[in-house]
Every structure is written in C-alpha cells, then in structure tokens.
Amino acid sequence: MPKHAKKDFPVTKVRRFIEPGPVVLVSSQYKGERDIMTMGWHMIMESSPSLIGCFIWDQNHSFNLIRRSKECVINLPTFDMVHTIIGIGNSHGPAPDKFAQFKLTAAPASKVDAPLIAECYANFECKLVDASLIKRYCLFVFEVVKAHVATTPRYPTTVHYRGDGVFMIAGRNVSYRKQFKRVNL
C-alpha cells in the first residue's frame, strides 16, 4: 500500500513544500537611502565561497538599492519578531524609513555600507557576485563576506514560510551526525 493517498496538485503551489529556509530580513543602502524587505525565497548555492541565491522581485524598492549598491545584509530574525517580519513585508520603501517605523536598530557593518539589523539573531554581510540572472529571474547571487552570529541559543527559533500566511516555527532538533558521510555534514 502506498504511504499517502495523493491527488493532482497545482504546480504553482509546490513551493510550499520546498521552502524550508528561514524567512530573513534583507537590509540595503544606496547613496544614503536605506530599506528593509522580508524574503523567503533564497537558496544556498555553495559553501566555500559562501554563496546564496536570492529572489528579489523587481517591483520592490530594495531591488533598486541592491542592484545599484551591489550589496546587502541578510539578517536572521526569530519568532518573537514575527509581526515585524509581516509588517516589513507589507510595506514598500522608500518612505517611511522602515528602521524607524518598526523600531529596529541599524548597526554599522564592516564590509558593506548597508546596515545590520541589531535585533536579529545573525547578520550576513553580502556582496553581489553574479548579476547575470537578475534581468531574467530577479535572481541575485551573493557572497557572504562577513557573518555576525549570536552565541546563544545554538539553534534559534526561526520562522519558515509555508504560503497562505502560515509560518512553520523551528522546533525539535535531532542529530544523526554519526550516520553521515563526512562530506555531507
């Protein structure tokens, strides 16, 4: 007997099953103007160098700031920030300034001009390394050039978007480390 009874499913909605990555807040700055957007569509493309592919819709104000400045910060918020995550995703720059609107602290980065969001668990300073897919797919390939990560807890309570306004909250962790081939760790 098959494990699951299945039915036809709209291909436009399969993303809900393969969007496990945490929702992040992307901060950017260009010529003194700054912005923040919520982002769920991203993927790891390489670990060394540390490459992350990000879908940034061209209708977002952040798209222009990031394309022009060629950099951004990917900030990792936690569940306690869920209303901020949604609020930022519901609003568009350039005004009002989202740092002020959502009472977030802009901290200086070390390798990019875009500000870090101090309230987030982690901040990854990124430089655009491949712009060739932006026009066709709104896909930015970034290299993380500096990472700031909280020392505790080890596994932050991140939120993961499942579509339709539903989030999965990071939960139980189980380690199967001993069963892994070293190269896959």
Ligand X SMILES: Cc1cc2nc3c(=O)[nH]c(=O)nc-3n(C[C@H](O)[C@H](O)[C@H](O)COP(=O)(O)O)c2cc1C
50 binds ligand X (CB under 6 A): no
Beta-carbon contacts of 31 under 8 Å, excluding residues fewer than 6 positions away, are: 68
Q: Which of 60, 78 has the CB closer to ligand X?
A: 60
By CB under 6 A, tell whether 161 contacts ligand X: yes
Choose the stretch contacting ligand X; rule: CB under 6 A; options: 10-18, 87-95, 112-120, 141-149. Answer: 87-95
Q: Prior bond to 94 cis, omega within 30?
A: yes
Look up residue 44 and give its two tokens: 């790891």
What is the token pair recorded at 153? 């807890």
Q: Does 57 bind ligand X (CB under 6 A)?
A: yes
From CA 56, how far away is CA 75, in angstroms rounded?
15
Q: Is residue 19 a contact point for ligand X (CB under 6 A)?
A: no
User: Binder to ligand X among 19, 22, 30, 56 (CB under 6 A)?
Assistant: 56
Closer Cβ to ligand X, 90 or 110, answer by number: 90
Bridge partners (DSSP) of residue 44 are 52
First to last CA, the chain: 34
Residues forming contacts to ligand X in the complex (CB under 6 A) are 23, 35, 37-41, 55-57, 60-62, 86, 89, 91-93, 161
